[in-house]
A and B are shown apart, each in its own frame.
Chain A
Amino acid sequence: MDQARWERIQALFHAAAELPDRERRPFLERRCADDPALVTEVLSLVEEDARPMLLDSGVAPAARRLLDDRAAPTARFGPYRITRMLGEGGMGVVYLAEREDLGSIAAIKILRDAWLSPARRERFAAEQRTLARLVHPSIAQLYDADTLADGTPWFVMEYVEGAPLTEHCAAHACSIPERLRLFRAACEAVQHAHRHLVIHRDLKPSNILVKEDGSLKLLDFGIAKQLESGDAPVDQTRTGLRLMTPAYAAPEQIRAGRAGTYTDIYSLGVVLYELLAGRLPFDLSDKTPAEAATTIAEQEPLRPSAMAAAVAERTGGNAWSRAVGRGAWADLDVLCLTAMHKDPQRRYRTVEALMRDVDHYLNGEPLEARPDSVRYRVGKFVRRNRGPVVAAATTLAVVITLVVFYTLRLTSARNAAVAEAARTQRIQRFMLNLFEGGDEAAGPADTLRVVTVVDRGAQEARTLSAEPAVQAELYGTLGGIYQKLGSFARADTLLRAALDQRRRLYGASHPDVAASLIALGMLRDGQAEYDSAERLVRDGLAMSQRMLRPGDPAVARATASLGQVLEDRGAYDMAIPALEEAARLQSLPGGDRADLAATLTELANSHFYAGHYAGSDSLNRRVLTMDRQLYGERHPHVADDLINLGAVQFEWGHFPAAERYDRAALEIIRTFYGPNHPETASALTILGRALVSQNRYEEAAVMLRDALTIQERVYGPVHPRVASALNELGRVAQEQGKLDEAEADFRRMADIYRALYHDRHYLIGIALSNLSGVYQERKQYARAEALMRDVVRRYAEVLAPDHTLMGVARVRLGRTLMLQQRYGDAAVESLAGYQILMKQSNAPARWLRTARTDLAEAYDATKQPEQAKRFRAELVSASAGAGGATR
């Protein structure tokens, strides 16, 4: 038959099939006069058309018949006779066999259908070679191997009768330490394999059997991978042809088919999870493989402790898991989740390291593993959301750098509040410039502000209600970001949501709840609500101390947070010991060096505000050395340290030295962030300040205007950083006698703070104070006075009555009254200010001098010569003692 004939047959077939039976033959005979053979041909087809045939039943029955073949090719394998089938896996069938001469039993594995492909035969042989080289009491032993006459390969190995690890533990209601010891034995076997360059690749409880005598055997190296050498190939080994067991497979194994020792470590982590929690981390039972892969790659598991609690609640069982205290659970969570971290780089590097931590746990020692930092989690979140977050790759890089950097430096935003405690106007300006607004990581130019990015993040976090733990984490992180962005209301909403969520998940007392309390406390700190801040942070700290080991980094961080709140409220004598304690904890072996550097920076700042410049200086030098080791020479942290060192030089009046530090910092920052970045703007501002102090106003003004331009473009017109730049420009203008410019600058500054802080923040007071200074220079004393009265009223609302700023404000108010010759009123204000300032451990000399001068003059004018004399004497002795320390 040829194609044309077949075409003709088909046409006839379709036509004939439509006809009634008896009309077909006449029809065909008519049409096939030239080729009578066609008639029978077509009629036979029509006949077949009506009958059932093989194709109708689908392939399944045929496949079942052909593939579901339990027959062994022979009963005898060398000296062994098979007695029954034990099971079949992807690679072969395993039979139980008896060795007739010795009466011993063994397992025989044969490769059925070995003909199917050379690759299969090769893998079967590889398993055999693997077993041959692994001799370990916890690995089933290879006895013998050969090939049948028909080419079927087989090998004999130790028969292990036992229960899968998890079933054994459930049946014997093993305690957590018992479970961990069994798990450790499994780790030892895996470690042995790794030492012989073998990756198991299919670790799961059913491959880890516990025998009656309690000993353990690791089985099934069927898809094990032989590494070629000790190091390089560990990373890029493809999983190959066989089905993994998805529940225990690592994300990279499922997604990219990569396998290395790290995939085994992940699988061990899942086995441990199941042992601890009584459940697998993910329920994949109803998922397609693609869904399962997505879950494994993207979903964060519940902590084992939370899962165990949930299981216990549902079943009323899990006596073993309830015997573990909360602190111990926290360690088990870290241990287990480190082993099964989604990022291979963040898992235990070796099985030994995993075993060491198991030992540490069993011995009650601190673990070597550390939970993920916020920095890591935020970075990951940003990476995961890069698609929706940014349009262009360059933009993206900027955003990631910014957001990550910005979370890195939680230290900085809080320092905004530090300004409040500043002793002198110079320190105020310094703090405003240096720290105001935090590192909020402005958005890439005009196109996409970070706020937008974070808004989308928050939006997305709200959809994650199926994963409350992750959601709480994200709420917390994003809340922190909003806080740095100055969106306090949104920060508040999210941080509260995180706290509520965690209380629901974990109960009233839990390390995560403590972390949330502290985060909320730090928000209050940023809002200058210090009572509330201190209460929240103290609660969080106490909870952390109750729930965690003293060496836990979270305890140290909580202690540092308390130090910071105390610092921000001006209680340096209390802040310094708290920060010293945090630094001590972080200096212990295993402490986080980056945390330590941050704490020491804070400690240096506390000393700075307390006027201990030498102490601050030596701490800053220490931090500079640490940061250079941690981050390299040209990292922004190093630049910050240089700026802090410059600040001390500035206070000492060594302006050229300050300028050198500030220039070095500017250079690093400009290289790191580029010329148009807000960080660069900040550094420009600080350098400008050093220039102003050397009366180089024109130079300074150029830098400050550059800074302002950058900040307005990046942050928009209403932002703390813009306000801070305006403050500096205003001051330069005032020094140059450009009073209109100065007035405009300070006005805008005040307006910005009013808008940002709902008309209630000490920073508004600082702006108005400066504005009042301009009026004063213009001899508009009544206006100046009215402003200062407003400032005093504002401070009274938000600050402690004996706060330094209040002292300064009343002295300034006194000065405006003096200038109006209202000596009686002036004396009242100046004295009140003077008394407040005298309570400070390091009173700002300039304002003390102003107070004394004014008081002496006022008492003269009101005929109180004794009082006047007293303040004059003080003026003389103060200037003798202080030397050149004041300007």
Chain B
Amino acid sequence: MVPRRPPSVLESESGAPELLLRDRRLLDDLFSLTYEELRRLAASVRRHDPSATLSPTALVNEAWIKLASSPPPGTISRLHFKRIAARAMRQVLVEAARRRNARKRGSGAALVTLDDGTDAAAAGADDVLALDAALDELAQLNPRQATMVESRFFGGLDVSETAELLGISEATVLRDWRAARAWLARQLRTPG
């Protein structure tokens, strides 16, 4: 595993549209876009699991905090923004997972369980951390595929958006995705 680079909104993505920053007002536009995107995510959470209690607001806040504490972004396309939201989401989840695992391994304080569901959360934490590590490795082999997986999985970009973001055809997206998916699956099963 290679050292993680600090996230930066201004980091150039291959094939991704990149514009320079203009002013902080754009943060608000970004905000409303994040909100829409993450609401969509949250809604999909509810669709997949009617008993889910995840509040979309919490998601939005976490992602937004990530974005807002990054350097001020420039004028940015919606697509590029989605890309950034995906990055933010990955980071939120990875850090939450790390934190949870740290707590699980024992920081002294007993966990107070006010309702159930924490076991599942602990399992999810391992998955997310493993995926994160595998994605870092994939980025070494093929940065475009890593970006693709990050965007589609964490940001919810669809195939055509991904194609546009990366400047490749949809067929190429599907092809790259399939290989990356298989590779990641194997990494998760047998890390290293």
Chain A's closest residue to B67 (CB) is A241
Q: Return the contact of B156 from the options A59, A72, A82, A89 (Cβ within 8 A).
A: A59
Contacts of A51 in B (CB 8 A): 185
B191–chain A nearest beta-carbon distance, Å? 13
Report A-chain residues with C-beta under 8 Å of the C-beta of B110.
74-75
The residue from A46, A59, A65, A255 contacting B28, defined by CB atoms under 8 A apart: A255
- Is B6 close to A, CB under 8 A? no
Contacts A1-B141, A69-B121, A70-B114 given; indicate if A63 touches B28 (C-beta within 8 A). no
A53-B185, A67-B59, A68-B53 given; A62·B64 CB < 8 A = no
* Contact of A90 with B61 in the complex, beta carbons under 8 Å: yes
B22 at the interface (CB under 8 A from A): no
Is B96 at the interface (CB under 8 A from chain A)?
A: yes
Is B41 within 8 A of A63, CB to CB?
yes
B28 contacts across to A, CB distance below 8 A: 254-257
Q: How far is the CA of A276 from the CA of B1 in the complex (A)?
A: 62
B182 touches A54 (CB 8 A): no
A interface, how many residues as a size bin?
35 or more
Does the CB pair A13–B41 fall under 8 Å?
A: no
Bound state CA distance, A84 and B175, in angstroms? 50
**Size of B's binding interface in residues, CB under 8 A:** 76
Closest chain A CB from B30 CB (angstroms):
11
A75 pairs with B93, CB closer than 8 A: no
Instruction: Tell me whether A14 and B45 are in contact (CB under 8 A).
Output: no
User: Given contacts A59-B156, A62-B93, A115-B99, are A67 and B112 in contact (CB under 8 A)?
Assistant: no
Q: A63-B54, A64-B52, A256-B28 are in contact. Are A54 and B188 (CB under 8 A)?
A: yes
Task: Identify the closest chain B residue to A10 (Cβ).
Answer: B179
| Most chain B Cβ neighbours within 10 Å, of A2, A6, A7, A67 | A67
Asked if B69 lies at the interface with its beta carbon under 8 angstroms from chain A, I say yes
Contact, CB under 8 Å: B96 / A67: yes
CB–CB B65/A66 < 8 A: no
A66/B96 contact (C-beta < 8 A), A48-B186, A243-B61 known: yes
Contacts of B169 in A (CB 8 A): none
Quote the shortest CB–CB distance from B142 to chain A (angstroms).
6
Q: Is A882 an interface residue (CB 8 A)?
A: no
Least CB distance from B119 to A in Å reads: 10
| B92 partner, pick from A54, A67, A68, beta carbons under 8 A | A67
Interface assignment of A356: CB less than 8 Å from any CB of chain B: no
* B118-A241 in contact (CB<8A): no
Contacts of A228 in B (CB 8 A): none
The reply to whether A65 and B120 form a contact with Cβ atoms under 8 Å apart is yes
**Contact indicator B142/A67 (Cβ below 8 Å):** no
A466 at the interface (CB under 8 A from B): no
Complex contacts, B45 vs chain A, CB 8 Å:
60-61, 63-64
Candidates B99, B124, B156, B182; contact of A61 at CB < 8 Å = B124
Per the bound structure, the CA–CA distance linking A116 and B92 in Å amounts to 7
A241 touches which of B58, B65, B152 (Cβ 8 Å): B65
CB closest residue in chain B, given A58: B44
B109 near A73: Cβ-Cβ < 8 Å: yes
Q: Which one of B9-17, B125-133, B160-168 is at the A interface?
A: B125-133
Determine whether A133 belongs to the interface, using a CB cutoff of 8 Å to chain B: no
In chain A, positions 284-318 with a C-beta closer than 8 Å to chain B are 288-290, 293
Complex Cα gap A288–B40 (Å)? 11
Q: Indicate which residue in A45, A57, A293 contacts B182 across the interface (CB closer than 8 Å).
A: A45
A75, chain B: closest CB distance, angstroms: 5
Known: A3-B141, A60-B41, A116-B62. A45 touches B112 (CB 8 A): no
B36-89 with Cβ < 8 A to chain A: 36, 41-42, 44-45, 48-49, 52-55, 57-62, 64-66, 68-69, 89
In the complex formed, the residue of A with least CB distance to B130 is A54
CB distance from A102 to the nearest CB of B (A): 22
A97 to chain B, nearest CB (A): 12
Known: A72-B114, A116-B92. A54 touches B58 (CB 8 A): no
Does A120 have its Cβ within 8 Å of any Cβ on chain B? yes
- A55 at the binding interface (Cβ < 8 Å): yes
Question: Which of chain A's residues have a CB closer than 8 A to the CB of B59?
Answer: 63, 67
Whether B159 sits at the interface, judged by CB under 8 Å, is no
Alpha-carbon distance A57/B185, docked complex (angstroms):
13
Partner of B153, one of A58, A84, A90, A149: A58
Residues of A within 8 A of B127 (CB): 54, 62
C-alpha gap A84/B31 in the complex (Å): 32
Assuming A59-B156, A115-B95, is B115 touching A70 (CB within 8 A)? yes
Q: Say yes or no: A66 contacts B114, CB within 8 Å.
A: no
> Do A240 and B68 touch across chains, with their CB atoms under 8 A apart?
yes
**A380 at interface, CB cutoff 8 A:** no
* Given A3-B141, A90-B57, residue A84 in contact with residue B64 (CB < 8 A): no
- Is the Cβ of B185 less than 8 Å from the Cβ of A60? no
Q: Tell me whether A877 is interfacial, beta carbon within 8 Å.
A: no
Nearest chain B CB to A604's CB is how many angstroms away? Answer: 50
Given contacts A59-B89, A119-B65, contact A68 B54 (CB under 8 A): yes
Of all chain B residues, which has the CB nearest A75? B112
A825 within 8 A of B: no
Interface contact B185-A67, CB-CB below 8 Å: no
What is the chain B residue whose CB lies nearest that of A56? B181
Contact residue among B118, B175, B181 (Cβ-Cβ distance under 8 Å from A69): B118
Contacts of A14 in B (CB 8 A): 175, 178-179
Q: Are B112 and A72 within 8 A (Cβ)?
A: yes
B181 cross-chain contacts in A, Cβ below 8 A: 48-49, 53, 55
Knowing A55-B184, A59-B156 are in contact, say whether A117-B44 is a contact too (CB < 8 A). Answer: no
Does the CB pair A242–B61 fall under 8 Å?
yes
Q: Is the CB of B112 within 8 A of A73?
A: yes
Q: Is the pair B93, A66 in contact by a Cβ cutoff of 8 Å?
A: yes
* Nearest-neighbor residue (CB-CB) of B143 within chain A: A3
Contact present for A64 and B49 (CB under 8 Å):
yes
Distance A58 CA – B52 CA, assembled complex (angstroms): 15
A762 to chain B, nearest CB (A): 58
8 A Cβ contacts from B136-192 to A = 140-142, 149, 152-154, 156, 175, 178-179, 181-186, 188-189
Contact B156 A53 (CB under 8 A): no
A148 at interface, CB cutoff 8 A = yes
Q: How far is the CA of A17 from the CA of B178 in the complex (A)?
A: 10
Query: B121: which of A17, A66, A241 is its contact (CB, 8 Å)?
Result: A66
A664 interface residue (CB < 8 Å to B): no
A57 nearest in chain B by CB position = B48
Chain B residues within 8 Å of A72, by CB: 112, 114
Q: Does A870 sit within 8 A of B, measured CB to CB? A: no
Q: Which residues of chain B are near A91, meaning CB under 8 Å?
A: 61
Central interface residue in A13, A46, A62, A241, by most chain B CB within 10 Å? A62
Query: Distance in Å from the Cβ of A60 to the closest Cβ of chain B?
Result: 4
Give bound CA distance, A540 to B178, whole Å. 76
Question: Are the CB atoms of B182 and A48 closer together than 8 Å?
Answer: yes
A235 within 8 A of B: no
Instruction: Using CB atoms, name the residue of chain B closest to A72.
Output: B112
CB distance from A289 to the nearest CB of B (A): 4
The answer on a CB contact under 8 Å between B112 and A290 is no
Q: Which one of B48, B58, B152 contacts A67 once the chains associate, using CB atoms below 8 Å? A: B58
The smallest C-beta distance from B176 to any residue of chain A, in angstroms, reads 8
Q: In the complex, which residues of chain B have a beta carbon less than 8 angstroms from the beta carbon of A49?
A: 178, 181-182, 185
Best-buried of A45, A55, A88 by chain B (most CB within 10 Å): A55
With an 8 A cutoff between CB atoms, is A85 at the interface? Answer: yes
Closest chain A CB from B72 CB (angstroms): 11
Q: Which residue of A lies closest to B90 (CB)?
A: A59
Q: Is the CB of B153 within 8 A of A59?
A: yes
B21 to chain A, nearest CB (A): 16
Q: How far is the CA of A10 from the CA of B145 in the complex (A)?
A: 12
Given contact pairs A63-B41, A243-B35, A289-B36, A85 touches B49 in the complex (Cβ within 8 A) = no
Chain B residues near A195 (CB-CB < 8 A) = none
Docked complex Cα distance between A55 and B44 (Å): 15
- What 13 additional pairs, Cβ within 8 angstroms, besides A53-B188, A61-B49? A14-B175, A45-B186, A60-B48, A61-B48, A62-B93, A63-B45, A65-B117, A65-B125, A71-B111, A74-B112, A90-B61, A116-B66, A238-B24
Task: Offer 6 A-B interface pairs, CB within 8 angstroms, sorted by A.
Answer: A6-B141, A63-B45, A150-B107, A242-B61, A254-B28, A256-B25
